[in-house]
Amino acid sequence: MTENGYEDNTAFLGEWGPFQQMVFFLLCLSIIPNGFTGMSIVFIGDTPSHHCLIPANANITGEWRNHSIPLEEESGTVVLSKCARYKLDVIKSFSERGYVPGIDVNVSEIQHETCLDGWEYDRGTYISTIVSEWDLVCADKWKNPLTSSVFFCGVLTGSFLSGQLSDRFGRKHVLFATMGVQTVFTFIQVFSPTWVVFCALFFVVGMGQISNYVAAFVLGTEILSPSKRIIYSTLGVCMFYTIGYTLLPAVAFFIRDWRMLMLALTLPGFLYVPFWWFIPESPRWLLSQGRVEEAEAILRDAARRNRVTAPEVIFQPVQLEPKAGKLVAHNICDLVRSSNIRWVSITLWLVWTILSIGYFALSLNTSNLAGSSYLNCFLSAAIEVPAYTMAWLMFRCCPRRLCLFSTLFLGGVVLLCINLIPPNLSSVSTALEMLGKFGVTAAFSIVYAYTAELYPTVVRNTAIGACSMASRVGSISAPYFIYLGGYSKSLPYILMGSLTALSGLLSLLLPESHRMPLPDTITHMQTFPGWKKRSVYKLSQSTGEEDVSDTL
């Protein structure tokens, strides 16, 4: 069935009745936990100020205890060394003989040793984090960015599996199954005895986190009418994601223990169980599977809720596709089967990957900015509200390629400009970083909706899942972009800015979908600009399978 045919046949429902309002707001509400699940690592994985622990039974004077940690320069400031101390047996010897540090002994000449007795962490900001609980510092500091990367590896796996499962078994079933996975495994994560167990559970949470987001996004896109679809895809789901993201620093400010914080963020997930009886399956997906009676039943129930009368026959048999042969099964291979869809997919995968690097690196970097980590995280979340609003306004009336290019290029140029700001103007650097986050966030909102418009119903969830999967290559590497800041503060911004601006140029190669009908089959897709050959999918008369050929 063509896009216009489906819209014409369901026009009796109206644009914005009680049914559409219910679907819109319930699906948006289901997005809120995604806003704080992934970003919670900003607080539960933050590294408090620390230095080597000097045991209470070390039998040294208070004066020597105060001089037992070497001083080192960090970002122009002299601080206590994080990973070394003066040799404790030497200090004890000087203390027992009554020598005075700095007068009788030149302390700086004493040899150093590692933190053999562990570390002492500042408890002023956090009661505990996974870093302070499992000592993910110094020789083990590589484990901290790896924790986030493990989560995003789970997101990558979930993107790969959920898209195909959703196109095979339905949007609704995958939505609720993955919401359950995210909630239950986050709850179990609260009781993690070791860092390894924490990471293993975090991987599974990542699988559920992206899967329910994509399923909810596609489900709403396919149910809602074109005018509401734009609001939902560029403003609705994104704004409710931001609600969850904004709540994170507020909750973390009052709950400073990482286990209690995770528990507080997990419990709301159990409130979504009743949504099962109110959120329907996608009629479009049911039609693509040949389940016409079930699709009509959902639409008749929608008509009842909207208090309108449904026609006796909603879909005429002659309108349904395929007309002959067996039902065509689609999978991820269809995204690269022909030249046209292949180039669309490759270009989108590159754009999504680079976008993900910028978005998650900037989001996870808030705890490293000058000032309060809670305030910086709140500002990073709050800046997404005007970003999504602008994305929605642009998406309503502007060509899609122009929308994506302008926001990406803005984000890239601003990030490059951060390197021109003197170190003493930290507030200006923070403001520019937030402006860069504004551009990248707006682009992320646009690319989700743009991708949904480019791909047809039969592979839409698989396509968005594949794009999300490609973007996880970026999110997996994002923590290490921040890690590079430990060696050169300008390097992360140079890399992120250059790549983001480049992705903006790449977006100009994509087909235009503004004011085009939403495709239902692969033959309805827009042609990749500049490609001389157009791929044609046709149904084989003998087998009922799709044949592919390239024609001039």
Closest CA to 395 of 475, 336, 451, 356: 451
Banded model confidence at residue 486, pLDDT cuts 50, 70, 90: low
**What integer best gives the mean pLDDT of the chain?**
78
Banded model confidence at residue 544, pLDDT cuts 50, 70, 90: very low
Banded model confidence at residue 282, pLDDT cuts 50, 70, 90: confident
* Sequence spans of domains, the chain: 3-46+140-507, 50-121
- Spell out where 364-408 has E strands: none
- Average pLDDT over every residue of 383-395: 83
How far is Cα 39 from Cα 219, in angstroms, rounded to an integer? 24
For domain 3-46+140-507, the CATH architecture is Up-down Bundle (1.20)
pLDDT at residue 194, as a whole number: 92
Closest CA to 451 of 358, 335, 361, 529: 335
How far is Cα 75 from Cα 532, in angstroms, rounded to an integer? 55
Contact (CB, 8 A) for 545 and 325: yes
Lowest average pLDDT, out of 132-141, 217-226, 384-393, goes to: 217-226
Q: Left (φ > 0), alpha (ψ -120 to 50) or beta: where does 418 sit?
A: alpha
For 7-44, how does the pLDDT look when each residue is reduced to its tens digit (9 = 90+)? 667 777 777 888 888 888 888 888 888 888 878 888 88
Task: Tell me the whole-structure pTM to 2 decimals.
Answer: 0.74
For 72-129, how does the pLDDT look when each residue is reduced to its tens digit (9 = 90+)? 777 667 778 888 888 888 888 877 777 777 777 777 777 888 888 888 888 888 888 9
